[in-house]
């Protein structure tokens, strides 16, 4: 959120949004931005270490004084029971409808294919694929038309980064889920389903990446040869959450400054 709430049109006033993985980075940025547009937001996260950060984000939202509001739910999306808990808590806090679902939570794992185990596969796929699929199923009965589902995928779905077989293939699966749900839900009052594929983004997750790789990523990004910012991604999500994106569905939008062009 880069500007004051008073300068942002309240295009999401009266809307309720769920954002998974919202304790930091892109997820936190999405929650703040949608709230700045008037939405009531539900932030999910998994680690007790994030309690303080999430509390700070909620306080920021409550101080906007623009009709938005926020609650948080600490839960593990790898547990199927968590999905129903999220929906129940949302409806209890903000009423009988959900308008926007942003499936942002995810994880990655770097391992050569020869070292991959069944447990490794489950670790990635249970969060990156199974959780968004089942959460969509839990949300859709309460999704007020025209609803918005936005899946945060990755350029890795198409770029194929070495040693990231589980991660890249899981994000490709999320793209496939996006297209299936767009075909399945569009007739239900105009629901749209899209994905956003961020490229390299300047977040704390980059701290563990060798500087040489970061510089290569910059060089491979045509627009200004820089890393993306959280706001670069958030603005695309905001567009997809709003009414003005009503004729966009089943699309996977690369938010990468040209790092990935297909």
Residues forming the active site: 153-154, 167, 171
Neighbours of 11 (CB within 10 A): 16
Measured distance CA(170)–CA(153) in Å, rounded: 9
Whether residue 21 contacts residue 222, with contact meaning beta carbons closer than 8 Å, is answered with no
Distances (CA, A) of 117 to 111, 121, 124, 146, 165: 10, 6, 11, 41, 12
Phi, psi of 187 (to 5 degrees): -80, -10
DSSP string, 20-65: SS-SSHHHHHHHHHHHHTT-EEEEEE--GGGHHHHHHHHHHHHTT-
Residue 136 near residue 149 (C-beta atoms within 8 A): yes
How distant is the alpha carbon of residue 126 from its chain centre?
Answer: 16
- On the 0-12 / 13-18 / 19+ scale of CB atoms within 10 A, 220 is middle
Q: Quote the DSSP letter at residue 145.
A: E
Task: Tally Cβ neighbours within 10 Å of residue 218.
Answer: 15
User: Minimal CA–CA distance to 76: which of 31, 107, 100?
Assistant: 107
Q: Residues 104, 22: contact at Cβ < 8 Å? A: yes
């Amino acid at each position: 959120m880069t500007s004051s709430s008073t300068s942002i049109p309240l295009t999401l006033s009266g809307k309720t949004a769920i954002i998974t993985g919202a304790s930091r980075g892109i997820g936190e940025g999405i929650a703040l931005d949608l709230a700045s547009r008037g939405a009531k937001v539900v932030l999910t996260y998994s680690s007790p270490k994030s309690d303080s950060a999430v509390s700070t984000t909620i306080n920021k939202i409550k101080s906007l004084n623009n009709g938005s509001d926020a609650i948080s739910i600490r839960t593990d999306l790898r547990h199927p029971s968590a999905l129903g808990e999220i929906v129940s808590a949302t409806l209890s806090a903000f009423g009988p409808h959900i308008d926007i679902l942003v499936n942002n939570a995810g994880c990655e794992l770097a391992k050569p294919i020869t070292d991959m185990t069944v447990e490794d596969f489950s670790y990635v796929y249970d969060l990156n694929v199974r959780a968004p699929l089942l959460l969509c199923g839990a949300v859709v009965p309460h999704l007020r038309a025209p609803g918005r589902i936005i899946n945060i995928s990755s350029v890795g779905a198409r770029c194929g980064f070495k040693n990231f077989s589980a991660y890249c293939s899981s994000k490709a699966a999320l793209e496939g889920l996006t297209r299936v749900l767009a075909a399945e839900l569009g007739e239900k009052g105009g629901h749209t389903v899209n994905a956003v594929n961020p490229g390299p983004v300047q977040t704390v997750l980059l701290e563990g990446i060798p500087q040489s790789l970061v510089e290569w990523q910059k060089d491979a990004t045509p627009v200004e040869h820089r890393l993306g910012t959280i706001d670069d991604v958030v603005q695309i999500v905001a567009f997809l959450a709003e009414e003005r994106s009503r004729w966009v569905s089943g699309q996977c939008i690369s938010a990468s400054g040209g790092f990935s062009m297909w």
